[in-house]
Chain A
Amino acid sequence: MKRKITLTVNGKEQELEIEPNRLLLHVLREEIGLTGTKEGCSIGVCGACSVIVDGRLVSSCLTLAAGCEGRDIETIEGLAKDGNLHPLQQAFIEYGGFQCGICTPGQIMAAKALLDENPKPTADEVKEWMSGNLCRCTGYYKILESVMAVVNNKISPDFQFRKREQQAKIQSLDVYKPVAKTD
Protein backbone atom coordinates (compact mmCIF):
# COMPACT_ATOMS: atom_id res chain seq x y z
CA MET A 1 0.00 0.00 0.00
CA LYS A 2 1.63 3.22 -1.13
CA ARG A 3 1.42 6.34 0.93
CA LYS A 4 1.99 10.02 0.27
CA ILE A 5 4.88 11.71 2.00
CA THR A 6 6.49 15.11 1.78
CA LEU A 7 10.22 15.51 2.23
CA THR A 8 12.26 18.66 1.97
CA VAL A 9 15.41 17.70 0.11
CA ASN A 10 18.13 20.32 -0.19
CA GLY A 11 15.55 23.01 0.46
CA LYS A 12 13.09 21.75 -2.15
CA GLU A 13 9.78 20.14 -1.20
CA GLN A 14 9.25 16.74 -2.73
CA GLU A 15 5.87 15.07 -2.74
CA LEU A 16 6.18 11.37 -3.22
CA GLU A 17 4.03 8.28 -3.25
CA ILE A 18 6.01 5.39 -1.90
CA GLU A 19 5.73 2.00 -0.24
CA PRO A 20 6.20 2.38 3.53
CA ASN A 21 9.15 -0.01 3.52
CA ARG A 22 11.25 2.06 1.10
CA LEU A 23 14.54 3.22 2.49
CA LEU A 24 15.50 6.86 2.35
CA LEU A 25 18.61 5.90 0.37
CA HIS A 26 16.59 4.27 -2.42
CA VAL A 27 13.97 7.02 -2.47
CA LEU A 28 16.67 9.67 -2.86
CA ARG A 29 18.40 7.76 -5.62
CA GLU A 30 15.52 6.25 -7.53
CA GLU A 31 12.50 8.45 -6.93
CA ILE A 32 14.16 11.85 -6.71
CA GLY A 33 17.13 10.99 -8.91
CA LEU A 34 19.81 12.22 -6.53
CA THR A 35 22.43 9.55 -7.08
CA GLY A 36 25.20 11.36 -5.24
CA THR A 37 24.36 9.42 -2.10
CA LYS A 38 25.97 6.00 -2.49
CA GLU A 39 25.14 2.51 -1.26
CA GLY A 40 28.08 0.56 0.10
CA CYS A 41 27.42 -2.02 2.77
CA SER A 42 23.68 -1.33 3.12
CA ILE A 43 23.84 -2.38 6.79
CA GLY A 44 25.01 0.80 8.49
CA VAL A 45 28.73 0.22 8.78
CA CYS A 46 30.41 2.03 5.87
CA GLY A 47 28.92 5.54 5.90
CA ALA A 48 28.70 5.84 2.09
CA CYS A 49 24.98 6.58 2.37
CA SER A 50 25.35 9.31 5.01
CA VAL A 51 22.88 12.18 4.72
CA ILE A 52 21.78 14.85 7.15
CA VAL A 53 18.20 14.64 8.44
CA ASP A 54 17.04 17.60 10.53
CA GLY A 55 20.65 18.48 11.25
CA ARG A 56 21.64 14.95 12.27
CA LEU A 57 23.97 12.71 10.32
CA VAL A 58 22.34 9.33 9.67
CA SER A 59 22.81 6.26 7.48
CA SER A 60 20.10 6.54 4.85
CA CYS A 61 20.35 2.77 4.27
CA LEU A 62 18.87 2.21 7.73
CA THR A 63 16.31 4.98 7.56
CA LEU A 64 12.77 4.46 6.31
CA ALA A 65 11.69 7.28 4.00
CA ALA A 66 8.18 7.20 5.48
CA GLY A 67 9.70 8.01 8.85
CA CYS A 68 11.19 11.21 7.40
CA GLU A 69 7.81 12.77 6.64
CA GLY A 70 8.11 16.53 6.99
CA ARG A 71 11.82 16.45 7.68
CA ASP A 72 14.66 18.43 6.19
CA ILE A 73 17.15 16.32 4.29
CA GLU A 74 20.54 17.46 3.06
CA THR A 75 22.51 15.48 0.50
CA ILE A 76 25.78 16.08 -1.31
CA GLU A 77 23.89 17.68 -4.21
CA GLY A 78 22.79 20.53 -1.98
CA LEU A 79 26.27 21.72 -1.04
CA ALA A 80 27.50 23.63 -4.08
CA LYS A 81 25.80 27.03 -4.37
CA ASP A 82 25.62 29.11 -7.57
CA GLY A 83 28.33 27.13 -9.28
CA ASN A 84 30.66 27.47 -6.32
CA LEU A 85 31.81 24.41 -4.48
CA HIS A 86 31.25 24.10 -0.75
CA PRO A 87 34.56 24.65 1.10
CA LEU A 88 34.64 20.95 2.02
CA GLN A 89 34.19 19.89 -1.60
CA GLN A 90 36.96 22.22 -2.64
CA ALA A 91 39.22 20.99 0.16
CA PHE A 92 38.72 17.35 -0.84
CA ILE A 93 39.87 18.26 -4.36
CA GLU A 94 42.78 20.43 -3.28
CA TYR A 95 44.05 18.05 -0.62
CA GLY A 96 43.40 14.78 -2.43
CA GLY A 97 40.68 13.62 -0.06
CA PHE A 98 39.43 11.01 -2.50
CA GLN A 99 40.58 8.53 -5.06
CA CYS A 100 37.78 6.45 -6.55
CA GLY A 101 35.22 8.73 -4.96
CA ILE A 102 32.56 6.26 -3.87
CA CYS A 103 32.92 7.08 -0.17
CA THR A 104 33.33 10.81 -0.80
CA PRO A 105 29.73 12.05 -0.68
CA GLY A 106 29.37 10.27 2.68
CA GLN A 107 32.69 11.62 3.94
CA ILE A 108 31.80 15.17 2.98
CA MET A 109 28.31 14.98 4.50
CA ALA A 110 29.79 13.55 7.69
CA ALA A 111 32.36 16.35 7.83
CA LYS A 112 29.67 18.93 7.14
CA ALA A 113 27.48 17.65 9.97
CA LEU A 114 30.47 17.86 12.30
CA LEU A 115 31.42 21.40 11.27
CA ASP A 116 27.78 22.51 11.56
CA GLU A 117 27.84 21.34 15.16
CA ASN A 118 31.43 22.17 16.02
CA PRO A 119 33.21 24.52 13.58
CA LYS A 120 36.61 24.13 15.25
CA PRO A 121 37.09 20.42 15.97
CA THR A 122 40.50 18.98 16.77
CA ALA A 123 41.98 16.33 14.49
CA ASP A 124 41.08 13.72 17.13
CA GLU A 125 37.49 14.87 17.19
CA VAL A 126 37.35 14.60 13.40
CA LYS A 127 38.72 11.06 13.57
CA GLU A 128 36.22 10.02 16.19
CA TRP A 129 33.28 11.60 14.39
CA MET A 130 34.24 10.10 11.05
CA SER A 131 35.13 6.62 12.27
CA GLY A 132 31.93 5.34 10.68
CA ASN A 133 32.98 6.47 7.20
CA LEU A 134 35.12 3.84 5.56
CA CYS A 135 37.34 4.45 2.57
CA ARG A 136 38.64 1.37 0.79
CA CYS A 137 41.09 3.48 -1.17
CA THR A 138 42.60 4.06 2.29
CA GLY A 139 43.06 7.77 1.91
CA TYR A 140 42.28 8.49 5.54
CA TYR A 141 45.05 11.01 6.18
CA LYS A 142 44.19 12.87 3.03
CA ILE A 143 40.58 12.97 4.17
CA LEU A 144 41.63 14.25 7.58
CA GLU A 145 43.88 16.88 5.96
CA SER A 146 41.01 17.99 3.75
CA VAL A 147 38.66 18.48 6.69
CA MET A 148 41.33 20.18 8.78
CA ALA A 149 42.11 22.50 5.86
CA VAL A 150 38.56 23.83 6.11
CA VAL A 151 38.77 24.03 9.90
CA ASN A 152 42.03 25.99 9.72
CA ASN A 153 40.98 28.12 6.76
CA LYS A 154 43.65 26.74 4.50
CA ILE A 155 41.73 26.33 1.27
CA SER A 156 42.74 28.63 -1.58
CA PRO A 157 40.57 31.69 -1.93
CA ASP A 158 41.23 31.82 -5.68
CA PHE A 159 40.26 28.18 -6.25
CA GLN A 160 37.47 28.79 -8.76
CA PHE A 161 39.67 31.18 -10.67
CA ARG A 162 42.59 28.77 -10.70
CA LYS A 163 40.34 25.99 -11.88
CA ARG A 164 39.27 28.02 -14.89
CA GLU A 165 42.88 28.97 -15.55
CA GLN A 166 43.98 25.35 -15.39
CA GLN A 167 41.21 24.24 -17.70
CA ALA A 168 42.26 26.86 -20.22
CA LYS A 169 45.86 25.72 -19.92
CA ILE A 170 44.93 22.08 -20.47
CA GLN A 171 42.89 22.95 -23.49
CA SER A 172 45.75 24.96 -24.94
CA LEU A 173 48.19 22.05 -24.64
CA ASP A 174 49.49 20.72 -27.91
CA VAL A 175 48.12 17.26 -27.32
CA TYR A 176 44.61 18.55 -27.74
CA LYS A 177 45.33 20.18 -31.05
CA PRO A 178 44.40 18.15 -34.07
CA VAL A 179 47.48 16.48 -35.44
CA ALA A 180 48.55 18.20 -38.64
CA LYS A 181 48.54 15.99 -41.64
CA THR A 182 52.03 15.25 -42.92
CA ASP A 183 51.79 13.91 -46.39
Chain B
Amino acid sequence: MKRTEPLEIYQPTSVNEACRIIKQSGPGGHFLAGGTDLIIAIKEKGWVPRYVVDLKRIPSLSEILTNSDGSLVLGALTTMREIEISPLIRDRYPFLAQSAAEVGSIQIRHRATIGGNMANATPSADVAPALIALDAKAKISGENSERIVALEKFFVGPGKTLMKPDEILTALIIPPHPATLRGEYIKFSPREMMDLAYVGVAVALAMDERKKVKHVRIALGAVAPIPMRARKAEAIVLDQILSEEIAEQAGGEAAKECSPISDVRSSADYRREMVRVNTKRALLNAASEHWRPTSWVERRDRRY
Protein backbone atom coordinates (compact mmCIF):
# COMPACT_ATOMS: atom_id res chain seq x y z
CA MET B 1 0.00 0.00 0.00
CA LYS B 2 1.46 3.30 -1.04
CA ARG B 3 1.51 5.99 1.56
CA THR B 4 2.57 9.56 1.74
CA GLU B 5 5.52 10.45 3.97
CA PRO B 6 4.80 12.67 6.94
CA LEU B 7 5.11 16.27 5.87
CA GLU B 8 4.23 19.66 7.23
CA ILE B 9 1.12 21.29 5.86
CA TYR B 10 0.39 25.00 6.20
CA GLN B 11 -3.12 26.30 5.65
CA PRO B 12 -2.93 30.07 5.09
CA THR B 13 -6.09 32.11 4.65
CA SER B 14 -4.75 34.83 2.35
CA VAL B 15 -2.53 34.98 -0.72
CA ASN B 16 -0.05 37.24 1.07
CA GLU B 17 0.24 34.83 3.95
CA ALA B 18 0.83 31.94 1.54
CA CYS B 19 3.62 33.82 -0.25
CA ARG B 20 5.19 34.73 3.08
CA ILE B 21 5.22 31.11 4.22
CA ILE B 22 7.01 30.04 1.04
CA LYS B 23 9.53 32.87 1.39
CA GLN B 24 10.26 32.13 5.03
CA SER B 25 10.35 28.34 4.78
CA GLY B 26 12.68 28.32 1.79
CA PRO B 27 13.03 25.86 -1.08
CA GLY B 28 11.45 22.41 -1.22
CA GLY B 29 7.90 23.56 -0.62
CA HIS B 30 4.92 23.00 -2.85
CA PHE B 31 1.48 24.51 -3.20
CA LEU B 32 -1.51 22.25 -2.79
CA ALA B 33 -4.78 22.93 -4.60
CA GLY B 34 -7.01 19.96 -5.47
CA GLY B 35 -4.18 17.54 -4.75
CA THR B 36 -4.95 15.20 -7.62
CA ASP B 37 -1.50 15.70 -9.16
CA LEU B 38 0.53 16.39 -6.05
CA ILE B 39 -0.59 13.37 -4.04
CA ILE B 40 0.01 11.09 -7.01
CA ALA B 41 3.49 12.57 -7.50
CA ILE B 42 4.27 11.91 -3.85
CA LYS B 43 2.97 8.35 -3.97
CA GLU B 44 4.17 7.30 -7.41
CA LYS B 45 7.45 9.06 -7.87
CA GLY B 46 8.40 9.00 -4.22
CA TRP B 47 8.96 12.74 -4.49
CA VAL B 48 8.67 14.32 -1.07
CA PRO B 49 8.20 18.07 -0.74
CA ARG B 50 9.69 19.47 2.46
CA TYR B 51 6.40 21.13 3.22
CA VAL B 52 3.08 21.86 1.56
CA VAL B 53 1.09 25.08 1.46
CA ASP B 54 -2.59 24.24 1.11
CA LEU B 55 -4.38 27.06 -0.74
CA LYS B 56 -7.92 25.81 -0.20
CA ARG B 57 -8.53 27.99 2.85
CA ILE B 58 -8.09 31.17 0.81
CA PRO B 59 -11.67 32.18 0.04
CA SER B 60 -11.07 34.58 -2.86
CA LEU B 61 -9.57 31.86 -5.05
CA SER B 62 -12.63 29.80 -5.85
CA GLU B 63 -15.05 32.04 -7.68
CA ILE B 64 -16.20 32.51 -11.24
CA LEU B 65 -16.85 36.23 -11.80
CA THR B 66 -17.78 38.49 -14.68
CA ASN B 67 -16.12 41.88 -14.81
CA SER B 68 -17.96 44.99 -15.99
CA ASP B 69 -15.96 44.89 -19.24
CA GLY B 70 -17.34 41.42 -19.96
CA SER B 71 -14.20 39.50 -19.08
CA LEU B 72 -14.57 36.31 -17.13
CA VAL B 73 -12.40 35.59 -14.09
CA LEU B 74 -11.92 31.97 -13.08
CA GLY B 75 -10.42 31.71 -9.61
CA ALA B 76 -7.48 29.31 -9.54
CA LEU B 77 -9.30 26.90 -7.23
CA THR B 78 -12.31 26.58 -9.52
CA THR B 79 -12.69 22.84 -10.03
CA MET B 80 -12.92 21.18 -13.43
CA ARG B 81 -16.44 20.11 -12.55
CA GLU B 82 -17.45 23.70 -11.77
CA ILE B 83 -16.18 24.77 -15.18
CA GLU B 84 -17.92 21.83 -16.82
CA ILE B 85 -21.34 22.73 -15.37
CA SER B 86 -21.14 26.52 -14.95
CA PRO B 87 -24.20 27.91 -16.81
CA LEU B 88 -22.19 30.99 -17.69
CA ILE B 89 -19.36 29.05 -19.31
CA ARG B 90 -21.65 26.54 -21.00
CA ASP B 91 -23.55 29.41 -22.50
CA ARG B 92 -20.64 31.54 -23.67
CA TYR B 93 -17.83 29.08 -24.24
CA PRO B 94 -19.29 25.57 -24.40
CA PHE B 95 -16.05 24.16 -25.78
CA LEU B 96 -14.23 25.29 -22.63
CA ALA B 97 -16.82 23.47 -20.51
CA GLN B 98 -16.32 20.44 -22.71
CA SER B 99 -12.54 20.49 -22.37
CA ALA B 100 -12.97 20.43 -18.59
CA ALA B 101 -15.45 17.55 -18.90
CA GLU B 102 -12.73 15.54 -20.68
CA VAL B 103 -10.48 15.50 -17.62
CA GLY B 104 -10.22 12.22 -15.69
CA SER B 105 -13.24 10.89 -13.81
CA ILE B 106 -16.00 12.72 -12.01
CA GLN B 107 -14.16 11.91 -8.77
CA ILE B 108 -11.10 13.72 -10.12
CA ARG B 109 -13.03 16.64 -11.63
CA HIS B 110 -14.66 17.34 -8.29
CA ARG B 111 -11.20 18.03 -6.84
CA ALA B 112 -8.82 18.97 -9.66
CA THR B 113 -8.57 22.73 -10.06
CA ILE B 114 -7.93 24.83 -13.11
CA GLY B 115 -5.11 26.69 -11.37
CA GLY B 116 -3.38 23.51 -10.26
CA ASN B 117 -3.73 22.05 -13.73
CA MET B 118 -2.18 25.12 -15.36
CA ALA B 119 0.56 25.55 -12.74
CA ASN B 120 1.65 21.93 -13.25
CA ALA B 121 2.05 22.70 -16.95
CA THR B 122 1.44 19.23 -18.32
CA PRO B 123 1.71 19.52 -22.12
CA SER B 124 -1.42 17.39 -22.55
CA ALA B 125 -3.70 19.32 -20.16
CA ASP B 126 -7.13 19.45 -21.84
CA VAL B 127 -8.17 22.87 -20.61
CA ALA B 128 -4.98 24.63 -21.71
CA PRO B 129 -5.66 24.67 -25.49
CA ALA B 130 -9.25 25.81 -24.92
CA LEU B 131 -8.06 28.64 -22.67
CA ILE B 132 -5.30 29.67 -25.08
CA ALA B 133 -7.83 29.70 -27.92
CA LEU B 134 -9.79 32.17 -25.77
CA ASP B 135 -6.69 34.38 -25.30
CA ALA B 136 -6.83 33.69 -21.56
CA LYS B 137 -4.42 35.43 -19.23
CA ALA B 138 -2.83 34.17 -16.06
CA LYS B 139 -3.01 36.34 -12.97
CA ILE B 140 0.07 35.75 -10.87
CA SER B 141 0.28 37.06 -7.33
CA GLY B 142 3.25 37.44 -5.04
CA GLU B 143 3.51 39.06 -1.64
CA ASN B 144 1.96 42.49 -2.35
CA SER B 145 2.52 42.14 -6.07
CA GLU B 146 0.49 41.11 -9.05
CA ARG B 147 1.14 40.59 -12.73
CA ILE B 148 -0.87 39.37 -15.65
CA VAL B 149 0.64 37.40 -18.52
CA ALA B 150 -0.84 35.70 -21.56
CA LEU B 151 -1.42 32.02 -20.76
CA GLU B 152 0.42 31.18 -23.95
CA LYS B 153 3.58 32.75 -22.47
CA PHE B 154 2.91 31.33 -19.00
CA PHE B 155 4.17 27.87 -19.95
CA VAL B 156 7.88 27.53 -20.61
CA GLY B 157 8.40 23.75 -20.74
CA PRO B 158 6.92 20.46 -19.55
CA GLY B 159 6.08 21.06 -15.89
CA LYS B 160 7.58 24.56 -16.03
CA THR B 161 6.00 27.99 -15.91
CA LEU B 162 7.44 31.48 -15.67
CA MET B 163 6.29 31.83 -12.05
CA LYS B 164 8.86 32.34 -9.31
CA PRO B 165 8.75 29.87 -6.41
CA ASP B 166 7.01 32.36 -4.13
CA GLU B 167 4.37 33.34 -6.66
CA ILE B 168 0.89 31.88 -6.91
CA LEU B 169 -1.34 31.55 -9.93
CA THR B 170 -4.50 33.13 -8.53
CA ALA B 171 -6.85 33.37 -11.51
CA LEU B 172 -7.35 32.83 -15.20
CA ILE B 173 -8.93 35.71 -17.03
CA ILE B 174 -10.81 35.31 -20.27
CA PRO B 175 -11.04 38.67 -22.07
CA PRO B 176 -14.37 39.78 -23.54
CA HIS B 177 -15.28 38.18 -26.86
CA PRO B 178 -17.97 39.01 -29.39
CA ALA B 179 -21.19 37.04 -28.97
CA THR B 180 -20.53 35.47 -32.35
CA LEU B 181 -17.45 33.62 -31.09
CA ARG B 182 -17.69 29.88 -31.57
CA GLY B 183 -15.32 27.16 -30.69
CA GLU B 184 -14.55 23.49 -30.48
CA TYR B 185 -12.25 21.29 -28.47
CA ILE B 186 -11.40 17.84 -29.72
CA LYS B 187 -9.54 15.47 -27.47
CA PHE B 188 -8.04 12.62 -29.37
CA SER B 189 -7.35 9.51 -27.33
CA PRO B 190 -8.14 5.90 -28.20
CA ARG B 191 -10.05 5.37 -24.96
CA GLU B 192 -13.23 7.39 -24.76
CA MET B 193 -12.84 8.24 -21.11
CA MET B 194 -10.19 8.25 -18.41
CA ASP B 195 -7.26 8.84 -20.73
CA LEU B 196 -4.78 11.60 -21.43
CA ALA B 197 -4.99 13.44 -24.72
CA TYR B 198 -2.71 12.02 -27.41
CA VAL B 199 -3.58 15.19 -29.26
CA GLY B 200 -5.83 18.06 -28.20
CA VAL B 201 -7.08 20.71 -30.61
CA ALA B 202 -8.99 23.82 -29.61
CA VAL B 203 -10.40 26.31 -32.08
CA ALA B 204 -12.14 29.63 -31.43
CA LEU B 205 -13.36 31.74 -34.33
CA ALA B 206 -15.72 34.55 -35.25
CA MET B 207 -17.18 35.11 -38.70
CA ASP B 208 -18.85 38.11 -40.32
CA GLU B 209 -22.27 38.01 -42.04
CA ARG B 210 -20.70 36.76 -45.22
CA LYS B 211 -19.16 33.85 -43.27
CA LYS B 212 -15.67 35.22 -43.63
CA VAL B 213 -13.47 34.33 -40.67
CA LYS B 214 -12.55 37.57 -38.92
CA HIS B 215 -10.88 36.14 -35.83
CA VAL B 216 -9.34 32.75 -35.30
CA ARG B 217 -7.24 30.94 -32.73
CA ILE B 218 -6.01 27.39 -33.07
CA ALA B 219 -4.31 25.87 -30.02
CA LEU B 220 -2.76 22.43 -29.75
CA GLY B 221 -2.11 20.26 -26.72
CA ALA B 222 0.20 17.25 -26.22
CA VAL B 223 2.19 17.87 -29.41
CA ALA B 224 4.91 20.23 -28.18
CA PRO B 225 6.75 20.83 -24.88
CA ILE B 226 3.99 23.31 -24.05
CA PRO B 227 0.42 23.88 -25.21
CA MET B 228 0.96 25.96 -28.36
CA ARG B 229 -0.80 28.16 -30.86
CA ALA B 230 -0.71 27.11 -34.50
CA ARG B 231 -0.15 30.57 -35.92
CA LYS B 232 0.55 29.58 -39.52
CA ALA B 233 -2.61 27.52 -39.63
CA GLU B 234 -4.53 30.51 -38.25
CA ALA B 235 -3.12 32.71 -41.02
CA ILE B 236 -4.51 30.34 -43.66
CA VAL B 237 -8.02 30.57 -42.24
CA LEU B 238 -8.12 34.29 -41.50
CA ASP B 239 -10.21 36.37 -43.93
CA GLN B 240 -11.39 33.25 -45.73
CA ILE B 241 -14.72 31.53 -45.98
CA LEU B 242 -14.13 28.31 -44.11
CA SER B 243 -14.46 25.67 -46.80
CA GLU B 244 -13.42 22.05 -46.51
CA GLU B 245 -10.27 22.85 -48.56
CA ILE B 246 -9.22 25.73 -46.36
CA ALA B 247 -9.76 23.61 -43.23
CA GLU B 248 -7.71 20.83 -44.83
CA GLN B 249 -4.87 23.22 -45.65
CA ALA B 250 -4.91 24.65 -42.14
CA GLY B 251 -4.77 21.13 -40.71
CA GLY B 252 -1.73 20.36 -42.86
CA GLU B 253 -0.01 23.52 -41.71
CA ALA B 254 -0.76 22.82 -38.04
CA ALA B 255 0.74 19.35 -38.44
CA LYS B 256 3.95 20.95 -39.77
CA GLU B 257 4.07 23.57 -37.02
CA CYS B 258 3.85 21.25 -34.04
CA SER B 259 6.75 19.28 -32.60
CA PRO B 260 5.40 16.10 -31.03
CA ILE B 261 7.51 13.40 -29.42
CA SER B 262 7.15 9.63 -29.59
CA ASP B 263 6.26 7.99 -26.31
CA VAL B 264 4.32 5.05 -24.88
CA ARG B 265 1.05 6.55 -26.07
CA SER B 266 1.87 7.34 -29.64
CA SER B 267 4.58 7.95 -32.21
CA ALA B 268 5.39 11.50 -33.26
CA ASP B 269 4.25 10.78 -36.83
CA TYR B 270 0.87 9.52 -35.70
CA ARG B 271 0.39 12.55 -33.48
CA ARG B 272 1.20 14.84 -36.41
CA GLU B 273 -1.32 13.06 -38.60
CA MET B 274 -3.96 13.34 -35.88
CA VAL B 275 -3.22 17.06 -35.56
CA ARG B 276 -3.91 17.42 -39.27
CA VAL B 277 -7.20 15.54 -39.15
CA ASN B 278 -8.49 16.97 -35.88
CA THR B 279 -7.57 20.57 -36.67
CA LYS B 280 -9.62 20.27 -39.84
CA ARG B 281 -12.55 18.73 -37.95
CA ALA B 282 -12.37 21.25 -35.13
CA LEU B 283 -12.43 24.16 -37.60
CA LEU B 284 -15.39 22.77 -39.50
CA ASN B 285 -17.28 21.89 -36.31
CA ALA B 286 -16.66 25.36 -34.87
CA ALA B 287 -17.94 26.98 -38.05
CA SER B 288 -21.10 24.88 -38.10
CA GLU B 289 -24.20 25.70 -36.08
CA HIS B 290 -23.87 26.69 -32.43
CA TRP B 291 -23.97 23.68 -30.17
CA ARG B 292 -23.82 22.83 -26.50
CA PRO B 293 -22.02 19.95 -24.87
CA THR B 294 -24.36 17.16 -23.85
CA SER B 295 -23.70 13.49 -23.26
CA TRP B 296 -20.38 11.84 -23.98
CA VAL B 297 -22.00 9.82 -26.73
CA GLU B 298 -22.81 13.02 -28.60
CA ARG B 299 -19.38 14.41 -27.92
CA ARG B 300 -17.77 11.22 -29.15
CA ASP B 301 -19.87 11.22 -32.32
CA ARG B 302 -18.80 14.76 -33.14
CA ARG B 303 -15.22 13.68 -33.40
CA TYR B 304 -15.64 11.44 -36.38
Mark A residues whose CB is within 8 Å of B.
Answer: 1, 19-21, 23, 26, 39, 42-45, 47, 50, 56-59, 61-64, 66-67, 110, 113, 122, 124-125, 127-129, 131-133
Q: Which 6 A-B pairs have the closest CB atoms?
A: A132-B105, A131-B193, A20-B9, A128-B296, A59-B107, A56-B110
Evaluate whether A23 and B4 lie within 8 angstroms (CB atoms) in the complex, with A43-B40, A122-B295 already known. yes
- A47 lies within 8 A of B107 (CB): yes
B89 at the interface (CB under 8 A from A): no
Query: 5 interchain pairs (CB within 8 A)?
Result: A1-B8, A20-B7, A45-B104, A64-B39, A64-B54
Evaluate whether A67 and B35 lie within 8 angstroms (CB atoms) in the complex, with A21-B6, A43-B44, A122-B295 already known. yes
Chain A neighbourhood of B193, CB < 8 A: 128, 131-132
B297 at the interface (CB under 8 A from A): yes
- B39 lies within 8 A of A62 (CB): yes
Hey, what's the 0/1 contact readout for B190-234 against A, CB within 8 Å counting as 1?
Answer: 001110000000000000000000000000000000000000000
B244 at the interface (CB under 8 A from A): no
Given A44-B105, A124-B297, 18 more pairs with CB closer than 8 A = A1-B8, A21-B5, A23-B4, A26-B3, A42-B1, A42-B2, A44-B36, A59-B107, A59-B108, A62-B39, A62-B108, A63-B111, A64-B39, A67-B35, A113-B106, A128-B193, A131-B106, A132-B194
Evaluate whether A132 and B40 lie within 8 angstroms (CB atoms) in the complex, with A21-B5, A127-B296 already known. no
Distance in angstroms between the alpha carbons of A50 and B111 in the assembled complex: 12
Distance in angstroms between the alpha carbons of A26 and B43 in the assembled complex: 14
Chain B neighbourhood of A39, CB < 8 A: 1
- B295 lies within 8 A of A132 (CB): no
Chain A neighbourhood of B296, CB < 8 A: 124, 127-128, 131
Interface residues contributed by chain B, number (CB under 8 Å): 32
Chain B neighbourhood of A19, CB < 8 A: 6
Least CB distance from A55 to B in Å reads 10
- B110 lies within 8 A of A23 (CB): no
- B39 lies within 8 A of A23 (CB): yes
B30 at the interface (CB under 8 A from A): no
B90 at the interface (CB under 8 A from A): no
Chain B neighbourhood of A125, CB < 8 A: 295
Least CB distance from A57 to B in Å reads 5
Pick from B7, B35, B297: contact of A62, CB under 8 Å: B35
B56 at the interface (CB under 8 A from A): yes
Distance in angstroms between the alpha carbons of A19 and B7 in the assembled complex: 8
CB-based nearest A residue for B48: A21
Distance in angstroms between the alpha carbons of A44 and B103 in the assembled complex: 12
- A44 lies within 8 A of B9 (CB): no
- B7 lies within 8 A of A45 (CB): no
Evaluate whether A132 and B104 lie within 8 angstroms (CB atoms) in the complex, with A42-B43, A62-B36 already known. yes
Chain B neighbourhood of A20, CB < 8 A: 7-9
Q: Which of B5, B39, B108 has the most chain A CB atoms closer than 10 A to its own CB?
A: B39
Chain B neighbourhood of A66, CB < 8 A: 9
Pick from A44, A56, A67, A124: contact of B54, CB under 8 Å: A67
Least CB distance from B194 to A in Å reads 6
- B108 lies within 8 A of A132 (CB): yes
Chain B neighbourhood of A63, CB < 8 A: 35, 111
Least CB distance from B191 to A in Å reads 9
Chain B neighbourhood of A23, CB < 8 A: 3-4, 39
